[in-house]
Amino acid sequence: MTARRARGRETSGDMVRSLAVVLVLVGAIVAFNVADQPDPVVRDIDYTDALAQARQQTAYAVLAPQPLPNGWRATSARTRPEDGDAVSWHLGLVTAAGDYAAVEQTDGDREGFVERFADGAETAGTVSISGATWRRIEGGDPEERALVSTGAGVTTVLAGSADWDDLEQLASSLRP
C-alpha cells in the first residue's frame, strides 16, 4: 500500500500529470467544436428594391449589373450617407467561382473612397471596357484588386477577391 503525500508535498511530476489530463480534455472539447462548425451561410438577395431606392436617393446614375453574369449571386445591397451631401451605393456579389466582387459608388471624396476598399494598392495599368477607361489597382487591403472609374463627379469601384476577368465581366454588365 502506497503512502499518501501530505498536502503541499506534491512533486512537479504530479503537476505535469494533472496538467496533461486537463489539456487532453480541453483538446477534445476544442476538436469537437471545430469539427461541428458549419460553413458560413451566404444568403442570396433580390437587390431590385435596394437599387430603386438608391436611384431615388442619389444625384448620380447608380450602376448595377443587368443582368447578373451567369452563376453570380447578389448577397448585399445598401445606400448610406457620406460626408456632406454625398451618398454611396454598395452591391455585394459572389461570382460563379465563389469569389467576392462588389460594386461601390459615391459622389463624395474620391481618394478616400478608393482607399476604403483597396488601401495601399498600386496601379496595375488601365483597361477599356464598353467604351469606359478603368484603372486597375492591386495589392490593396481589404480587397486584393479593383477597377476604378471616375467621371462626372462619381467614383465607381469594382473590388474583391474575384480575378481580373470576373471584374471586367462585371464592369461590362453595368447599366444605369
pLDDT in tens, 108-133: 998 899 999 999 999 999 999 999 99
Question: Among 11-20, 82-91, 116-125, which stretch is predicted with the lowest mean pLDDT?
Answer: 11-20
Judge whether 104 lies within some domain: yes
Judge whether 67 lies within some domain: yes
Model pLDDT, residue 118: 92
Judge whether 116 lies within some domain: yes
Average pLDDT over residues 70-95: 94
Judge whether 169 lies within some domain: yes
- The pLDDT-based confidence of 18 (bands split at 50, 70, 90) is confident
Model pLDDT, residue 36: 64
Judge whether 150 lies within some domain: yes
- The pLDDT-based confidence of 169 (bands split at 50, 70, 90) is very high
- CATH number of residue 131's parent domain: 3.30.200.100
Model pLDDT, residue 16: 86
Model pLDDT, residue 4: 66
Judge whether 140 lies within some domain: yes
Model pLDDT, residue 6: 65
Contact 83, 108 (CB under 8 A): yes
Judge whether 31 lies within some domain: no
Q: Which structural domain, as residue segments, surrounds residue 99?
A: 48-175
Domains identified in the chain, total number: 1
Give the separation between CA 137 and CA 125, rounded to whole angstroms: 7
Judge whether 4 lies within some domain: no
- The pLDDT-based confidence of 70 (bands split at 50, 70, 90) is very high
**At CA 47, angle to CA 42 and CA 52, rounded to 5?**
160
Question: Among 26-35, 129-138, 155-164, which stretch is predicted with the lowest mean pLDDT?
Answer: 26-35
Which residue pairs from 1-10 have beta carbons closer than 8 angstroms and sit at least 24 positions apart in sequence? Answer: none
Q: What does residue 129 show for φ and ψ, rounded to 5 degrees?
A: -135, 120
Q: Hey, what's the torsion of the CAs at 128, 131, 135, 136, to 10 degrees? A: -40
